[in-house]
Amino acid sequence: MNNYYQYLLNDLSCDRETLVELLTDPDTELRTALFRQAALVRNRETGNKVFFRGLIEYSNQCSKDCKYCGIRVSNPVVDRYALSDEEVIEAAVFAWKSRLGSVVLQSGERSDRAFIHKITHLLERIQEATNGELKVTLSCGEQTEETFRTWFQAGGTRYLLRIETSNSGLFESLHPVDGKHLFRTRLKALESLKKTGYQTGTGVMIGLPGQTAEMLALDLAFFKNFNVDMVGMGPYLETEGSDMDDRSNLWSLNERLELSLRMVALLRLLMKDVNIAASTALQAIDPDARIEAIRCGANVLMPNITPLKYRENYQLYNNKPGLTVDGAQNIKYWEEQLKNTECIPAWDEAGDPLHFQHRNYKTEKQKAMS
Ligand code: 5AD
């Protein structure tokens, strides 16, 4: 490989110009080198195992109105649902018996008391039903620190809350100005998650209208500076029922896909021990793109195990894949797909991000030395 590329990739920093070059340079030799290096770093630092998280889309009831999202509160054509307790437990037990090691409980954002209690109750019941062996990641939006603590004590160990973009101006353009969609509140929620003790995950949408490669480079720097444990990021996709006013200046689908894969690879080089998901949205552009993400540094797959009858009502974006593929078929599918890579599924493993252990170890050490 060209020495200059080798030098860039071996010693990658958050230098914005370099990251922009690596995100956009059409040189195929560079692209191949970047993806290969990212896979090697993943294999060396976290092993060649891929963690499976069973994704349970608990409810599409949402109090927020994010302009890009298909289940925003003001989209009238969505049939609103919430799974029954039994359906959630059944899905969790299925994941446990299928040896997935963990599930993600995801839902639209609500912060009323009934919802907070319900999630607490579900966390407790999942622990009981699976001998405390199944780990639960929550992805239920912005909450107060108190709520985060309640859910942590009830058994939630990881939390995913995407920053969506680390550019506050772009964030504002994607949300209504109503005091309920504030960039600083999102940041504060992320800080509360870390403080509470969660393995903390965030992420961004890639190829948003008005988003530049410079902004994406700064998103990478944001992940690094915020010291996150897990990242899920994928292409922005158009949505029925959305309210995106800026339709000019759009990245093509291929560009969004390419940028997304390069973001995964670059993040792997910048944060060697974090968990990185091969996000579902990738697959809406290209059926092979999630496996491509594994080939360039990702180490988490989230097979959807939501009961089939609810799937079409949880469409955050158009062309969402897997509406008719049930949990068992999905797990089998990804197990087979992984055979086309150098990775293997990590059965029965919770798959805590190594980064979380490393950052806690550092904090303990600092405490001991002070
Ligand atoms: N395109 C891509 N991703 C989207 N999400 C919501 N709407 C879209 C869309 N139109 C993502 C957001 C959110 C996550 C649950 O789904 O990043 O945090």
Average pLDDT for 172-199: 97
Alpha carbon of 202 to ligand 1 centroid (Å): 12
Per-residue model confidence as pLDDT tens digits over 125-171 = 999 999 999 999 999 999 999 999 999 999 999 999 999 999 999 99
* Residue 183 CA: distances (Å) to CA of 21, 138, 168: 28, 20, 6
User: CB within 6 Å of ligand 1 — which residues?
Assistant: 68-69, 162, 164, 205, 236-237, 239, 281, 316-317
Can you tell me which atom of ligand 1 is nearest the CA of 106? 15
Alpha carbon of 317 to ligand 1 centroid (Å): 7
CA–CA separation, 208 and 317 (whole Å) = 13
- Is pTM beyond 0.95? Reply is yes
CB atoms near residue 39 (< 10 Å): 21
Can you tell me which atom of ligand 1 is nearest the CA of 204? 17
- Burial class of residue 249 in the structure, from the number of CB atoms within 10 Å of its CB (0-12 exposed, 13-18 middle, 19+ buried): exposed
Can you tell me which atom of ligand 1 is nearest the CA of 239? 10
Per-residue model confidence as pLDDT tens digits over 223-282 = 999 999 999 999 999 998 888 866 666 899 999 999 999 999 999 999 999 999 999 999
* Closest by CA position to 6, among listed 286, 298, 269, 272: 269
Alpha carbon of 44 to ligand 1 centroid (Å): 31
Q: Which residues sit opposite 105 in a β-bridge?
A: 56, 138
- pLDDT at residue 245, as a whole number: 66
- Given ligand 1 and candidates 317, 318, 319, 320, which is best to mutate, with the most ligand atoms within 8 Å of its CB? 317
- Given ligand 1 and candidates 53, 68, 231, 318, which is best to mutate, with the most ligand atoms within 8 Å of its CB? 68
Alpha carbon of 344 to ligand 1 centroid (Å): 28
Residue nearest to atom 6 of ligand 1 (CA): 69
* Closest by CA position to 314, among listed 133, 83, 42, 131: 83
- pLDDT at residue 363, as a whole number: 77
Average pLDDT for 284-308: 97
Q: Tell me what the pLDDT averaged over the chain comes to.
A: 95
